[in-house]
Structure 1
């Protein structure tokens, strides 16, 4: 008789319920569709008390992070702002599991917590696109990529949302073959199972509602060059049109000019870094293309109605 694989889930307060469900439910479906107990699971919370998801739903865990329960895999499910989670007992528990040979995974913001525990050094990893900029600044020793999920030996990371379903289908296929994996995807009406290396974000043309190819080329270049903003003339050359024509395209399709859009992108990135890293304000300013902390502070206050220091304090 095949020995069931045991999967543990560490639920961090504010975890994303959709990401968690997309990871756990395929295990139940695999058991149901195969007619066998292929997987068992348990849940842990940092204290063993009920853990509340980002939408207010609470789940009662089976144990706290001091548990000695065995597991083949343990996934950390986190959301919101994982940079604020600093429970040393949970970090030590995860390291202890890793030393025992348990496969350790993170979903959505969970990889941030794995990195805080020192479990992703020199590994390839991914996490939700919202956390990627801060993660890259905080953990330069992790080879972070913007994919749906990554399986690097006994470390598994996932960007969250419904990509957790794609990841679990891939793991079920690895454990029990393509036929059962396809049946699980079909069970959840997920007719197109995506590979792990697929992109996380919607194409710019759909995300921003822009169809003009020249403008799309420039918008993509801007998002990739926030630390060292490209001059407007350079952007126009990349589009193959005059600067005046490019400005007209921005006002027609984006609703404001090049400079305003570029500054907004940089300030949004800065706000993420202030919330999710401990970088000094000057380093945040430099990482988003501002020449000084005073210049950055003025632009930030104008955009968000508060100084950078208050955003950092509230985070």
Structure 2
């Protein structure tokens, strides 16, 4: 039969069109830890809804769980009514994402850890969003894996889990483990997963739906670069700022920083006062005190350990520096 005859036969009146199988529905679980970040959760679940709407198919369905079940409160006070309590029953899931914020280091629930391990044994891909990777690490689910999490949680995470490779990227997909830094990076993560599941066309459509005109790759940086964060463009000062942030445990002396900038110490001090409104010492000290505050809030480190991790000789020296900053306020140094 010629191709024309074959086409005619296919289009003959009364002949049924070829049956197109609908793609299988993927089930996504969201484990919401109290004080979870609503923006990160919304950026993760809304792309799934949009993919269903744009495709006209039930590509994704999802359920919610929380420790104890019932309603779980986000960090901004909004509550989500969950479908199941953690550990109450094993729910079918292709992927499960733990969404946590606030102080994930303080959350230690053996029932959550056991349930996540059980879901992983049953073949689910396990992910963490924002502070969620902290919960995965505590459950032993990130051993030998590279991961990311929100930059605010990184210092405490690295102190608590020194053997886990942490990168400061938007998201990481490593086989059956997925980690995401949170915020709107969860949207980029879901767009990447939608593309893997159903192709780039649908991912682009969902991105366009949310007025997201550039899909960022996982390895994109979490934070603005130093130019944007500090509003400075002088390359000498930028080199010094980068070196300061990379050396908080063992602060570099002023002379070494001046060598990096290829200026004298006096000229470097002038750059800090003119472009940042405070002296070199004050800026460096504030960076170290900010890191100490993060570690104190999000880790179980002792005051002495926090002092060592932020370049102070002792816990007493750290406490004195904190008191001086409270008394001096934001006055330039």
Shorter-chain TM range is over 0.9
Q: 1:185 aligns with which of 207, 221, 226?
A: 207
Q: Quote the residue 1:308 is aligned against.
A: none
Q: Quote the residue 1:51 is aligned against.
A: 72
Offset of 1:304 from its aligned partner? 4.5
Name the SS for the 1:120 alignment partner. Answer: coil
Q: Distance in 2 between matches of 1:302 and 1:14?
A: 32
Q: Flag structure 1 segments of 5+ consecutive residues without an equivalent.
A: 306-315
Q: How many residues align?
A: 305
Q: Distance in 2 between matches of 1:75 and 1:253?
A: 43
Name the SS for the 2:162 alignment partner. Answer: coil
Name the SS for the 1:181 alignment partner. Answer: helix
Name the SS for the 1:7 alignment partner. Answer: strand
Superposed CA RMSD in Å reads 1.0
Q: Quote the residue 2:232 is aligned against.
A: 210
Name the SS for the 2:224 alignment partner. Answer: coil
Q: Quote the residue 2:250 is aligned against.
A: 228
Q: 2:281 aligns with which of 259, 276, 286?
A: 259
Q: Which segments of structure 1 move beyond 6 Å, counting only runs of 4 or more? A: none
Matched, 1:12 2:33: yes
Q: Quote the residue 2:265 is aligned against.
A: 243
TM-score (structure 1 length as normaliser): 0.95
Q: Which has the larger radius of gyration?
A: 2
| Deviation by residue 1:269-290 (Cα, 9 ceiling, x = unmatched) | 0111111111121111111011
Q: Distance in 2 between matches of 1:96 and 1:274?
A: 32
Q: Quote the residue 2:171 is aligned against.
A: 149
Q: Quote the residue 1:84 is aligned against.
A: 106
Q: Distance in 2 between matches of 1:289 and 1:278?
A: 18
Q: Quote the residue 1:128 is aligned against.
A: 150
Q: Flag structure 2 segments of 5+ consecutive residues without an equivalent.
A: 1-20, 328-333
Offset of 1:300 from its aligned partner? 2.3
